[in-house]
Amino acid sequence: MKIKKVLMIVIFLIMVTPISAQTKINGFATLDIEVQGIEKGGILNLEISSTKEAFESDEDDAGVAARIQEKVSGVSYQRSFEIPQGIYAVKVHIDENENGKLDTNFLGIPKEQYGISNNGRFLNFKAASFIIEFDTYRKVQIKL
């Protein structure tokens, strides 16, 4: 009988717990990403990575928290994500000719627009990373 009573109390507490408190329990936060300075339209490729390996390559899906591909034509783009607490870095590029890759010249310098969080110029996870804590809001602006 005691177990049934305790179970009913637990269910009741979960039902009356505000959503913001449940967010704290689950450890999720809102991340808004704004990409500025889009010069030409194309396919926006955006990736939120939680590991150095995923951020610095295109072959490690294990450390990718979110990835989107979306056609853009304006000068800016914004999107919100609900992600768990942790350390993340964001990379983005505009595939202007829509060939599915970031085009580079013979030296490896990108010919299409790209950017990373903290507005660095190189794929360096440590320099681009930021912390997301539970039940928080964070906005990351990336200038291409």
CA proximity to 44, closest of 70, 76, 80: 70
Phi, psi values for residue 18, rounded to 5° = -60, 155
Per residue in 15-42, pLDDT (tens digit) is 554 444 444 446 789 999 999 999 999 9
Q: What is the CATH number of the domain that holds 100?
A: 2.60.40
Flag whether 10 is in a domain: no
CA distances from 1 to 9, 12, 20, 28, 144 (A): 13, 17, 32, 36, 63
Does position 99 have pLDDT exceeding 80, yes or no? yes
Flag whether 78 is in a domain: yes
Residue whose tokens read 């919100």: 80
In the chain, the number of structural domains is 1
Per residue in 45-92, pLDDT (tens digit) is 999 999 999 999 877 788 999 999 999 998 999 999 999 999 999 999
Alpha-carbon distance 7 to 59, whole Å? 46
Give the domain range for residue 47: 28-143
Does position 113 have pLDDT exceeding 90, yes or no? yes
